[in-house]
């Protein structure tokens, strides 16, 4: 199993629009072979001193996949190409962390 943390920075004021488009695609991803978990999250104010500053224009995607091959297939899936086309004008940038349990 692998964990994936994807941080998506969106244009100012476009976070809710992005989340709507993202959520439209979630059922497609959850139906993919090897997908164990896939969902968007946003920063939560906690008052915990070590928490990084809140990011109003970032959506963090938390994913679990059976394997790296499943993740690669996900990234090449036709519905992901369609999703990327839909959100291309509101996404400023993205980063990805791929992690394995120890």
Quote the pLDDT of residue 94: 97
For the chain, the domain total comes to: 1
Rounded Cα distance, 65 and 87, in Å:
23
CATH code of residue 12: 3.30.70.100
* Domain containing residue 92: 2-46+54-99
Mean pLDDT of all residues belonging to the chain? 98
30-70: per-residue pLDDT in tens?
999 999 999 999 999 999 999 999 999 999 999 999 999 99
Neighbours of 93 (CB within 10 A): 9
Environment class of 15 (CB within 10 Å of its CB; exposed 0-12, middle 13-18, buried 19+): buried
Averaged pLDDT for residues 18-23: 98
Quote the pLDDT of residue 9: 98
């Amino acid at each position: 199993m692998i964990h994936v943390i994807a941080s998506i920075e969106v244009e100012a004021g476009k976070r809710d629009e992005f989340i709507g488009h993202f959520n439209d695609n979630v059922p497609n991803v959850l139906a993919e072979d090897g997908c164990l978990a896939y969902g968007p999250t946003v920063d939560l104010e906690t008052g915990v001193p070590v928490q990084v500053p809140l990011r109003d224009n970032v959506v963090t995607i938390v994913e679990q996949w059976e394997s790296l091959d499943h993740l690669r297939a996900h990234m090449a899936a036709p519905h992901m190409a369609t999703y990327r086309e839909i959100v291309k004008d509101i996404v400023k940038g993205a980063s990805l962390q791929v992690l394995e349990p120890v």
